[in-house]
Structure 1
Amino acid sequence: MTAENSSGRLDDDDYPAYTTGRAADMIGTTPGFLRALGDARRITPLRSVGGHRRYSRYQLRIAARARELVDQGIPIEAACRIIVLEDQLEEAQRTNAEHRHTVGSATPTAAA
């Protein structure tokens, strides 16, 4: 892969660019916490050819949110469920906004 081809991935939120240690450092947690999120099936890191976990920026945002909730005393399983519900709510709000925009642009304006 050339540098030109790989540089486009730097902006890809789903590209698994970070090792477990680096990912843990970036969000201020431990590698064990990231593994626990994997055990809870909230994030599933990709594996390198050598079998090492690799995390994307999107997964790190989820892990950071889980860390915030756990730091507030919420059990990790509940924190993961909260994150799922937050994601579903955000998606529903986005869908509703798109629908309103579509319906609004399809409604003919009244003649004055």
Structure 2
Amino acid sequence: MTAGDSYNRLDDDDYPAYTMGRAAEMLGTTQNFLRALGEARLITPLRSQGGHRRYSRYQLRIAARARELVDQGTSIEAACRIVILEDQLEEAQRINEELRAAGASHPADA
């Protein structure tokens, strides 16, 4: 790996850069909360060679949204389901927008 590769990872939302302790600290939550999100299959952290959990920025955003819902009184299971559905909706809207843009640039022959 070159130095350039290392710098590129700083911008990679999927790069597992954060330890469980650091992730919990950044989210203002506990390591047990992060474990619970893993057990609910909302996020699946990657494992280091030593077996330690590592989280990406994308996973931390997902965990932060789940924490927000739990803090509002939603059960962790329901919060995970809500976050999954929100993520699926966002992806569907993105795809729809791409298809609309492609259709506008290539109108059907009349």
Which whole-Å CA distance do the structure 1 matches of 2:16 and 2:39 have between them? Answer: 18
Q: Percent identity?
A: 76
1:56 aligns with 2:63: no
Specify the alignment match of 2:7 in structure 1: 7
Letter in 2 for 1:82: I
Alignment map for 1:12-91 (pairs within 5 Å): 12-91=12-91
Deviation digits for residues 42-100 of structure 1, max 9, x if unmatched?
A: 10001111111000000000000000000010001100100111011111111111111
Question: Structure 1 103/2 Cα, relative in aligned 2: closer, same or farther at 3 Å?
Answer: closer
Which whole-Å CA distance do the structure 2 matches of 1:9 and 1:96 have between them? Answer: 29
Q: CA deviation at 1:2?
A: 4.3
Unaligned regions of 5+ residues in structure 1, if any?
none
User: Normalising by the residue count of structure 1, what TM-score does the alignment of the two structures yield?
Assistant: 0.91
Question: Structure 1 5/100 Cα, relative in aligned 2: closer, same or farther at 3 Å?
Answer: closer
Q: CA deviation at 1:5?
A: 2.6
Secondary structure in 1 aligned to 2:10? helix
Query: After TM superposition, which residue ranges in structure 1, 4 or more long, deviate above 4 angstroms?
Result: none
Which whole-Å CA distance do the structure 2 matches of 1:60 and 1:13 have between them? Answer: 10
Letter in 2 for 1:68: E
Q: CA deviation at 1:106?
A: 1.7
Q: CA deviation at 1:3?
A: 3.4
Q: Give the RMSD, CA atoms, in angstroms.
A: 1.2
Letter in 1 for 2:37: L
Secondary structure in 2 aligned to 1:77? helix
User: Normalising by the residue count of structure 2, what TM-score does the alignment of the two structures yield?
Assistant: 0.92
Aligned residues: 108
Larger Rg: 1
Which whole-Å CA distance do the structure 2 matches of 1:49 and 1:99 have between them? Answer: 41
Secondary structure in 2 aligned to 1:54? strand
Unaligned regions of 5+ residues in structure 2, if any?
none
Which whole-Å CA distance do the structure 1 matches of 2:12 and 2:102 have between them? Answer: 29
